[in-house]
């Protein structure tokens, strides 16, 4: 019997030890230290945004506590009391406020915003006031989602119009024309590339040669004696003027030929007489020329 009771005691002790290990292990996984002394505070919220037990409590990004329990305040409907365990060396200044923040991935955490201007502190077991900060997701749900809901009918209309456009046969023709245009531009680009690589260098060399010739001409023009040339031109013009003046005067042979009308009339009359003489010569050649094979006859 004694041996039997000893086995039962051993089994009971093993069970108790297992329960204790399970209890401490679960609390340890939740971040609750059963052996470390903690300070306990209460926070009054109207909205906890899905805050759960074992959620961490931060201040300035540093973890200072953990949420132990969340209860609905039946004595003050619409309010929720959250129990928070804080490290004993953390003192909460009066006027401090707690806020529940929903992060991007949907997780919820609590921040304590300390009132550093206060020189008094809450006592353990006091109640703080808390607010719910909707965060980025809450702001998106509040501000962006309604706008999206308003845009949905327009978006549906746009998608319908886009579907009609995509099913329009003219779109295929347009794409085909664009493809042909692209091929044409590609061919044009190749031709332009060939032109730039072959013809343009030749043209550039020709232009360079022309530029060099123009430089030579310019250099020759710079070396030319313009004064002497202009002097010779003036002298030539002066001689032409003198010749013209003599031609207009009647005191010389050329002037008489050009300006005396009687000489013109005499030349004209002489020409007319010569023409008559030639006409008569053709008509009566025997009057002017005599031929005889046997000599002149005696009269």
Query: pLDDT for 48-72, tens place per residue?
Result: 888 888 888 999 889 888 898 899 9
Angle, CA 243 vertex, CA 240 and CA 245 arms, to 5°: 110
Going by their DSSP bridges, the two strands 97-102 and 56-59 should be labelled as: unpaired
288 versus 206: the higher-pLDDT residue is 206
Both tokens of 55, joined, read: 């959620």
pTM greater than 0.85: no
Mean pLDDT of 272-293: 71
- Domain chopping of the chain, boundaries: 36-133, 143-167, 169-224, 225-267
**Residue among 124, 43, 126 nearest 82 (CA):** 43
Q: What is the distance between the alpha carbons of residues 83 and 66, in angstroms, rounded to a whole number?
A: 9
Cβ neighbours around 56 below 10 Å, total: 14
Q: Supply the pLDDT for residue 82.
A: 92
For residue 293, pLDDT beyond 50:
no
Q: What is the distance between the alpha carbons of residues 112 and 135, in angstroms, rounded to a whole number?
A: 15
Angle, CA 202 vertex, CA 199 and CA 203 arms, to 5°: 85
Helices and strands (DSSP H and E) totals, the chain: 8, 7
Looking at the chain, the whole-number percentage of residues with pLDDT higher than 90 is: 9
Q: Assign 37 a pLDDT band (cuts: 50, 70, 90).
A: very low
Q: Supply the pLDDT for residue 96.
A: 92
Q: Assign 254 a pLDDT band (cuts: 50, 70, 90).
A: low
Q: Supply the pLDDT for residue 80.
A: 92
Going by their DSSP bridges, the two strands 108-113 and 97-102 should be labelled as: antiparallel
For residue 299, pLDDT beyond 50:
no
- For the ranges 96-100, 236-240, 287-291, the maximum mean pLDDT occurs at 96-100
261 versus 19: the higher-pLDDT residue is 19
108 versus 142: the higher-pLDDT residue is 108
When mean pLDDT is compared across 64-73, 155-164, 186-195, 216-225, the lowest value belongs to 216-225
Mean pLDDT of 140-168: 75
Both tokens of 293, joined, read: 């094979």
């Amino acid at each position: 019997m004694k041996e039997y009771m000893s086995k039962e005691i051993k089994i009971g002790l093993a069970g108790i030890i297992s329960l204790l290990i399970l209890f401490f292990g679960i609390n340890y996984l939740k971040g609750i230290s059963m052996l470390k002394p903690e300070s306990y505070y209460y926070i009054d919220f109207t909205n906890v945004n899905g805050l759960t037990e074992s959620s961490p409590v931060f201040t300035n990004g540093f973890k200072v506590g953990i949420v132990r329990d969340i209860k609905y305040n039946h004595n003050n409907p619409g309010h929720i009391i959250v129990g928070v365990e804080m490290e004993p060396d953390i003192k909460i200044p009066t006027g401090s406020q707690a806020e529940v923040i929903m992060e991007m991935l949907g997780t919820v955490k609590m921040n304590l915003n300390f009132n550093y201007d206060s020189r008094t502190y809450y006592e353990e077991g006091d109640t703080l006031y808390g607010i719910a900060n909707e965060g980025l997701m809450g702001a998106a749900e509040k501000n962006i989602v309604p706008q999206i809901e308003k845009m949905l009918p327009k978006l549906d209309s746009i998608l319908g119009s886009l579907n009609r456009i995509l099913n329009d046969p003219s779109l295929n023709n347009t794409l085909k024309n664009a493809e042909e245009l692209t091929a044409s531009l590609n061919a044009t680009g190749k031709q332009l590339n060939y032109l730039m690589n072959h013809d343009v260098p030749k043209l550039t060399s020709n232009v360079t040669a022309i530029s060099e010739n123009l430089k030579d001409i310019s250099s020759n023009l710079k070396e030319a004696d313009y004064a002497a040339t202009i002097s010779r031109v003036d002298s030539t013009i002066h001689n032409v003027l003198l010749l013209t003046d003599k031609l207009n005067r009647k005191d010389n042979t050329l002037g008489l030929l050009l300006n005396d009308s009687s000489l013109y009339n005499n030349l004209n009359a002489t020409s007319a007489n010569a023409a008559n003489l030639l006409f008569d010569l053709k008509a009566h050649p025997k009057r002017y020329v005599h031929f005889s094979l046997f000599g002149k006859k005696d009269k």
